[in-house]
Structure formats: C-alpha cells, structure tokens
Amino acid sequence: QKEVEQNSGPLSVPEGAIASLNCTYSDRGSQSFFWYRQYSGKSPELIMSIYSNGDKEDGRFTAQLNKASQYVSLLNRDSQPSDSATYLCAVSGSARQLTFGSGTQLTVLP
Amino acid sequence: DGGITQSPKYLFRKEGQNVTLSCEQNLNHDAMYWYRQDPGQGLRLIYYSQIVNDFQKGDIAEGYSVSREKKESFPLTVTSAQKNPTAFYLCASSSLGWNEQYFGPGTRLTVT
C-alpha cells in the first residue's frame, strides 16, 4: 500500500517565524516530490517540486529531500499571515501517478 | 491566458441522477487527471488520461466514467452508481514526461 503521511496539524506559528512541514512516504521507488498550497475552498497550487536529495530553495520556501529516510520537508523561513493554508505533500512513484498526503493546516499569527 | 477551467463551480443534484463535470485546458498538456477531495482529506485519483482516446482507472473509479475525445477536454460523469458523490472534484493536467500537475479551480458537487 503506497502511503504518504504528513505531520498532524494544525500548526500555528507567529509571523516571521520558521514553519516546518514534514512528509514521509512508503514507496522506495518514488522519484518526484511536490508541495502544494491549498487555501480554504480553493484548488491546490503547486509551490515546490524536488527530485534529488538535498535542499531546494525558492523564495521563502526551502524543500528538503532525503530518499534514504523516505522523508521530504518544506520550510517557510519567514512565515506571513498570507501563508495560512493547508499544505499537501504529493509523491510520484514508479507508476508516475501522484499520491497525496492528507495535508497539514498552517496558521500564521500576525 | 493559459490555464484549466472547470464548470460549473457549484452543482446540486438529486440522488439517482447522472451528472457531467467539465474540464478544459489550453496548456497543450497531454495528460489530464480527475481527483476527488473530501473534507480534511487528501486528493484521491479517479481517472487519468495520457493521450486522446485512452484513459485508465485510478484508485476510486467505481461509479465514475470519463471520455477523452479531444486533447483539451476531459469530462467526468458521476453516475447514480457512485454511492457517496458529494465532494470537491478537481481536474489537473501535466506534460508527458513531467510529473508536475496543475489544477483547475474545482467543482463542488452536492447530491441530496
């Protein structure tokens, strides 16, 4: 059974703090990893993709991938109230389909 | 503007009726997908298509049907056989060879 698990929320951080969102996956054949942001009532928006071990930075977001530990994370280094949303981790395995986690709700307090 | 459109935004139907959800994209993507999202849950794959006139079942295809007669269009029919059809339905597309999927705005279906 392929699974993607995210740390349980909700997660609250003050404005300007670092928010850390974590995700583990069970399929060792997974090749591609994505983070989507979903505002309440809206569709998911792709904010980060990562394909190889290590860190990938894009603006205030940093994705970290460790395939040996089957772990991918998303750091928001300067959280803003507008970042308050649910963050979905998605993993693409050998079948090239995406499996989504159930999401972590993040609230950034002004 | 390139993007994915879904219509309608909200849809209300009586139990026992079939309903068709529209999905159109002008991104020239080859692959298209249908997902279902229930409150507090992640997305579950219903059907996907990587090429015109071909499609495959996802994890929860029972009670749903699709067609892919044009590259730009991938409509989803929710049939009366779907036991719990009330949900948020999301269409996505991607280029073949890339796994990055982009989503339309979604259709919220309520069946009573």
Mean pLDDT value across residues A58-86 = 96
Looking at the complex, report in whole angstroms how far the Cα of residue A43 sits from the nearest Cα belonging to chain B. Answer: 5
pLDDT given for residue B96 in this prediction: 77
Q: Identify the closest residue of chain A to B40 by CA–CA distance.
A: A102
A101·B42 Cβ contact <8 A? yes
Partner residue opposite B100 with nearest CB, options A4, A49, A100: A49
Statement: residue A2 has pLDDT above 70: no
Distances from the Cα of A28 to the Cαs of A31, A69, B38, B40, in angstroms?
9, 9, 27, 26
Distance CA B43, CA A91 (A): 12
Residues of chain B with pLDDT under 70: 1-2, 97-98
Q: Which of B86, B109, B39, B87 is nearest to A105 (CA)?
A: B39
Q: Check residue A7 and give its pLDDT.
A: 83
E-strand stretches of A28-110: 32-38, 45-50, 54-58, 61-66, 71-76, 85-92, 98-100, 104-109
Q: How does strand B64-66 pair with strand B76-78? A: antiparallel
Q: What is the mean pLDDT of residues A33-61?
A: 96
pLDDT for B1 equals 60
In this predicted model, what pLDDT tens digit does every residue of B38-47 receive, in sequence order?
A: 987 889 999 9
> Which of the two residues, A48 and A7, has the higher pLDDT score?
A48
Task: Read off the pLDDT of each residue in A15-40 and give the average, rounded to a whole number.
Answer: 94
Could you count the other beta carbons within 10 Å of the beta carbon of residue A72? 27
Is B97 in CB contact (< 8 Å) with chain A? no
Q: How far is B80 from chain A (nearest CA, A)?
A: 25
Between A90 and B2, the higher pLDDT residue: A90
Q: What is the pLDDT of residue A67?
A: 95
Contact between B41 and B109 under an 8 Å Cβ cutoff? The reply is no
How many other CB atoms are found less than 10 A from the CB of residue A103? 24
Rounded-to-integer distance, Cα A76 and Cα A108, Å: 11
- pLDDT-based confidence at A4, cuts 50/70/90? very high
Average pLDDT, integer, range A37-49: 96
Q: What is the pLDDT of residue A59?
A: 94
> A32 and B101 in contact by Cβ < 8 A?
no
Extract the tokens encoding A89: 């981790």
Question: What is the predicted pLDDT for the residue at A97?
Answer: 82
pLDDT given for residue A95 in this prediction = 65
Query: Which site among B59, B101, B108 would you substitute to test the A interface, given the most A Cβ atoms closer than 10 Å to its Cβ?
Result: B101
Between CA A18 and CA B46 the distance in angstroms is 36
- In this predicted model, what pLDDT tens digit does every residue of B45-65 receive, in sequence order? 999 999 999 999 999 999 999
Residue A94 pLDDT greater than 70, yes or no = no
Q: pLDDT-derived band of residue A88, with 50, 70 and 90 as boundaries?
A: very high
Contacts with A8 (C-beta within 8 Å, 6 or more apart), sequence order: A104
Q: How far apart are CA A72 and CA A79, in angstroms?
A: 19
B107 touches chain A (CB under 8 A): no
Q: What is the rounded end-to-end Cα distance, in angstroms, of chain B? A: 36
C-alpha B88: how far from its chain's center? 10
Interface test with B, best of A30, A49, A86, A98 (most B CBs within 10 A): A98
Task: State whether A46 and B42 contact (CB < 8 Å).
Answer: no
Residues in chain A, overall count: 110
